[in-house]
Amino acid sequence: MEPNILLESLIDEAGVSRAGLAGHVNQAGRVRGLCLRYEHTAVSRWLKGQRPRGQVPDLICEVLGARLRRPVTLDDIGMGIAGSHPAPGGAGLSGFVEHATALWRSDDQQRLHLASAPAVTGTGAVVPVWEWENPPEDTDVSRPGPARVSMADIAMLRAARAHYEQMYRKTGGIATRARVVGFLNAETAPLLRGGYSDATGRRLHRAIAGLVAVAGICAYDSDAHGLAQRYFHQALRLAKASGDRGLGGYVIALLVNQSLHLAEFRRSVAFAEAALRAAGPHITPALATDLHAMQAKAYAELGDPRSALECIRRAESEADRIHALREPDETGYVQPGLVNVQVAEALLSLGDLAGAREHATAAVRTPAHDRGQVHRLGLLTRLQLLQGEADKAARTASEMAERARGMESRRLRDRLRSVREPLAASGCADAREAAGLIDGALRVPL
């Protein structure tokens, strides 16, 4: 079961407590001749995704509709016949808008069950990608409404995406997540529910997709994998509505990266193939580079060196074609040296320490923002330790820890921890000092 964010959002909007809703449902049931004795614990179960039996869902609609003074349907409360949690595109674009904005509202209110929900697997993970790749397309995304969306609104959303991306790179996803989600709920949701023509709507959906993707990245960096996956699926649906295939390919790259972290290697390969196939000529060299490189890592983990090396060759070939000025804003993360990191990790999985070390060294020597440099230094530290060069590893680790200080990121903490123990166990004279610097960086509260 997944949290029923639609019901939660309507309960909040209606201004009724869980105990109050249970009492009103009991009272409405008595009018129909039912003997119901629900308490707040039952409402908590509904919010966790349980669908009550019999006429109770209809009673919930009746109670909430009366308080909100408008009709409320089973789909509105997440208890439609198809199930409580349809795929992001399954209820049409207008239904998706309500579902998406309900998630932003719940996340902005820091509902703990959202952050702790695991990522879905199987069909639930695959269907959003399949729906993005296949027809039908959105023939008209216009929406009536008194508040008309302007190009200035869209420019504001694009500027916000760039701002939060830079904040994420400097401070980490944990610190950034609350801010970007607050912006989605307060500023973005009214625009998505506003009025716009088809042409303006496509630009609007594109701008919001980029912003939602950043929210997903921050959730991923906070270890909230189920929430991150939801944001990525939302961004993919918004990308489809925008008509921008390349943007959809970028969102799938984020899903590939998450799948790699969750050790879903076959899914990583399949998703990357879907992006490369469906986006086709709309895939830019930077995005193609990243997709091929991540495929190489997945194949290496699956024990398929031939396929891994072929993907490395493709990634390096695409990297030679990258022109930063011709790339969209979203692919700016594919900076010089990133392909070296990806290739180094693939070669490490294949047991080629010398090749991995060469690429890791090249990556560290290439300028990058602090967050990217921490990952590069962490990888080089690990390789230096594996090759018995503890003195060099201690110096590299010290630089890594200094750069990581002040960043609130689960992924960076993973990188720091991965080298801390083997470094301390090396017996190197400088290892104790380096381990102490790592401990200092790890003491940043999350």
Q: Cβ of 289: how many Cβ atoms within 10 Å?
A: 25
Write the pLDDT tens digit of every residue in 407-421.
Answer: 999 999 999 999 999
Query: What's the pLDDT score for residue 91?
Result: 53
Largest Cα span, the chain: 80
Contacts 24+ apart (CB under 8 A), 24-27: 24/63, 25/56, 25/59, 25/60, 25/63
Those residues of the chain that have pLDDT short of 50 are: 82-90
Q: How far apart are CA 378 and CA 412, in angstroms?
A: 9
Q: Which of 289, 255, 288, 247 is nearest to 271 (CA)?
A: 255
Q: How far is CA 132 from the centre of its chain?
A: 16
Q: What is the pTM of this model?
A: 0.87
Write the pLDDT tens digit of every residue in 245-290.
Answer: 999 999 999 999 999 999 999 999 999 999 999 999 999 999 999 9
Query: What's the pLDDT score for residue 111?
Result: 80
Q: How far apart are CA 271 and CA 215, in angstroms?
A: 20
Query: What's the pLDDT score for residue 89?
Result: 44
Q: How far apart are CA 83 and CA 72, in angstroms?
A: 16
Under 8 Å between Cβ of 259 and 302:
no
With helix as H, strand as E and coil as C, how does 276-287 read? HHHHHHHCCHHH
Q: Which of 83, 77, 71 is nearest to 56 (CA)?
A: 77
Q: How far is CA 15 from the centre of its chain?
A: 30
With helix as H, strand as E and coil as C, how does the chain read? CCCCHHHHHHHHHHCCCHHHHHHHHHHHHHHCCCCCCCCHHHHHHHHCCCCCCCCHHHHHHHHHHHHHCCCCCCCCCCCECCECCCCCCCCHHHHHHHHHHHHHHHHHCCCHHHHHCCCCCCHHHHHHHHHHHCCCCCCCCCECCCCECCHHHHHHHHHHHHHHHHHHHHHCHHHHHHHHHHHHHHHHHHHHCCEECHHHHHHHHHHHHHHHHHHHHHHHHCCCHHHHHHHHHHHHHHHHHHCCHHHHHHHHHHHHHHHHHCCCHHHHHHHHHHHHHHHHHHCCHHHHHHHHHHHHHHHHHCCCHHHHHHHHHHHHHHHCCCCHHHCCHHHHHCCCCHHHHHHHHHHHHCCCHHHHHHHHHHHHCCCCCHHHHHHHHHHHHHHHHHCCCHHHHHHHHHHHHHHHCCCCCHHHHHHHHHHHHHHHCCCCCCHHHHHHHHHHHHCCCC
Q: How far apart are CA 34 and CA 24, in angstroms?
A: 13
Under 8 Å between Cβ of 107 and 9:
no
